[in-house]
Structure 1
């Protein structure tokens, strides 16, 4: 468990389990407190230590500038400072230095984290160490896409942790595993939002995107015995739709893979994506598993996962229906034409 600086993060979010989730999350994360002098670091996770070589005792209470070095571009530093002063998110590629002095290119996704009252509580920095190939291609990076990812995904992380707090009646280990899986799911969405040739710079081809998510979940769950089928009309959706929609879809697919089939049973999971005449679209996910038990009303009677699905459906103004039978379950998600509008 990563320690907290005195008077910092734990005074406003004291759920130890939530801190464990962030500590173990797969992306490098640092939080700084703008309410303290010089905006010190109050939280780092294990991935940050792995990326930079700095341990918690090196970082807590210090400003993030210790990562800078003799060849750090001051224009990038000024861009970070301006975003902090304005309270807005930004993305910047900056040359940083590990504890051992080795330089590395860091893609920093900086964003404010707002509290329930709308005020900024912390600034978060999600960091990605760039490969030489990624550095060479950095001029073509879609900054607007990364800003969308930071804003939406970090908001979802905060939302997940708050929902977890309302489900404290569950066993601690089970709850931690459940929330950790969903934080891993957010990292998966980062990976699958990567730009592909032929896609709009601020959108994804929906069928391709869902296919990538389903394949990744199959690998994560180890269900290589399940056949994944996809039939999709080809159209794009904006990132503002793709992020929550991808989270809903990952919940549906993961739920089916974990509960619709016996451990030793093979089966088929079929996804259909179809446009509607009015410009909306329908996503159908059908399995040929054992069906839901009588009296089950997913997602209403599910805790964290169901709450998340219902919240994201409300965000998208989407209609969700679940039809179960003695063999198989079909989940149908209908979205309006507005979900495809680019802003």
Structure 2
């Protein structure tokens, strides 16, 4: 047994003190962290409902899925809860390149005492299953069918995984926890916004004990995060500027939800815009380099209109909109 696999949560912490949520709930945590524990982001703002759902996952072993639009910080939310609990955490992105063998394991040729021998190397799932690790499946609704059936095995009530190649059954560690993030909760690409998202077996979705929805933060909280990340704009004038930037971001999110845009500004993009403002000293130029150039050319005029509305000045793309209207 390694040191990690032998570890157990060894203290209880107050949710009110650590997360600022008005509750008497206390949850288990580790007194000391190790290399798999995420770093604490002190500027992070927690959504109370989602935080309580995740804490139920950590304290009671509930399987929690966090659903929401991209850029809302679903994975970061899980990591930041884990960071404050000193809980080891591993993320797996279920893109098209992740195979069943990556998750379960495979035979590999290794050197032992100068000789080549074939050994079974565990995949990430049996490795995590035997340790007090929070395993996060990112982009859960983009997983391939053969991969999803591997995951379905550990979603059973007892959570055991059968390694058929090894004739071995792996039982979950008492500290193992399972989380997932998804854009569509298994409904597939109905809106056309998430290419590659798969329709998932409802029986599998039903095995997740808790499904939490994470939306974008209220504007004042998002402004506070940007100011914390880019201290140059921490004064009153900076707040006014960041307020306009977040207003543009909100318009792109509304346009994305309405189908007018194929991309949107996440809080991360707003922070990047603010950081680029430090370099270029021009909101319009920094906006173009941070976001506009990522947009489809046919949509740039719409984005420019959003900028004009919030900053009362035009981007070059605004003239394209005027020409189209004329």
TM-score w.r.t. length of structure 1? 0.24
- Radius of gyration: which is bigger? 2
- Which structure has greater strand proportion? 1
RCO (CA 8 Å, sep 6+): is it higher in 1 or 2? 2
